[in-house]
A and B are shown apart, each in its own frame.
Chain A
């Protein structure tokens, strides 16, 4: 795309909260396939999406969490996780995404400032 606006997809919902996570991911992949720069942000309950060893298929749900490992093929390399929110929820730091950047809440907010369009799910 001509203007090359930078897009931040901000995930605030848990993995299976009302399909938000899946539709956010679908949108990220589409922007990326049009060569628009996209970053994924995970904050608040959205950090639950990023934790390792989720097994959606046990619930009979589609395992789109495995798709996070393919984000690099879509040139989505900037993945930000709010570490304060991870700690608040008592989660450990093993993630379902490759090379995430773990940021304090303040750094997380500052990083968001680098994006032209912020879409929240």
Chain B
């Protein structure tokens, strides 16, 4: 007997900084979704979640490095990771290299706006905000 399996498409919203334990929970949750055979159409970083994209983040070697953890997740799963640029700019991130600025957004993030979140939520079966 084959058991019927419905694949669910998730959109994930990350609202917390790397210093918040919920961020790691979110990453584990995202991995678990994919391991169960479901899909993620995108991870959207909003509010303090945008800090996860700061390429200058440094972590003591005996703690989890969120920058590399998200990078590995992105590379191993090809999941699009979107950054709300307005929320990011407020928190010191920039994609600009004009005088006085230095591009500091990690390359595994796609620079997006809230409009992208509207599209993701429209196309997803379930939206989970952490």
- The answer to whether A and B touch directly, with their CB atoms under 8 angstroms apart, is yes
Q: List 15 A-B contacts (CB under 8 A).
A: A1-B119, A1-B122, A2-B122, A3-B122, A3-B123, A18-B48, A23-B46, A23-B87, A26-B86, A27-B117, A30-B113, A30-B117, A36-B121, A36-B122, A119-B13
Q: How far apart are the CA atoms of A110 and B12 in the complex, in Å?
A: 25
A-B contact count (CB 8 A): 39
CA distance A121 to B113 in the complex (A): 18
CA distance A19 to B118 in the complex (A): 21
**Interface residues in B, total, Cβ within 8 A:** 18
Pairwise interchain contact B121-A23, C-beta atoms closer than 8 A: no
The reply to whether the CB of B24 lies closer than 8 angstroms to some CB of chain A is no
List, in ascending order, chain A residues with CB within 8 A of B90's CB.
19
Contacts A23-B87, A27-B114 supplied; 17 other A-B pairs, CB < 8 Å: A1-B122, A2-B122, A5-B122, A19-B90, A20-B47, A23-B46, A26-B86, A27-B46, A30-B115, A31-B118, A34-B115, A34-B118, A36-B121, A117-B121, A117-B127, A120-B129, A121-B47
Number of A residues with CB within 8 Å of any CB on chain B: 19
Q: Which residues of B contact A120 (CB under 8 A)?
A: 129
Q: Which residues of A contact B122 (CB under 8 A)?
A: 1-3, 5, 36
Partner of B118, one of A1, A18, A23: A1
- B residues near A, CB below 8 A? 13, 46-48, 86-87, 90, 113-115, 117-119, 121-123, 127, 129
In the complex, whether A7 has a CB less than 8 A from a CB of chain B is yes
Residues of B within 8 A of A20 (CB): 47
In the complex, what distance in Å separates the CA atom of A5 from the CA atom of B87? 24
Determine whether the beta carbon of B114 is less than 8 Å from that of A5. no
A112 to chain B, nearest CB (A): 14
> Could you tell me the distance in whole angstroms from the C-beta of B113 to the nearest C-beta in chain A?
8
- Inter-chain contacts of B118 with A (CB < 8 A): 1, 30-31, 34, 36
Min CB gap B86→A, angstroms: 7
Nearest 4 A/B pairs, CB to CB? A30-B114, A1-B122, A34-B118, A117-B127
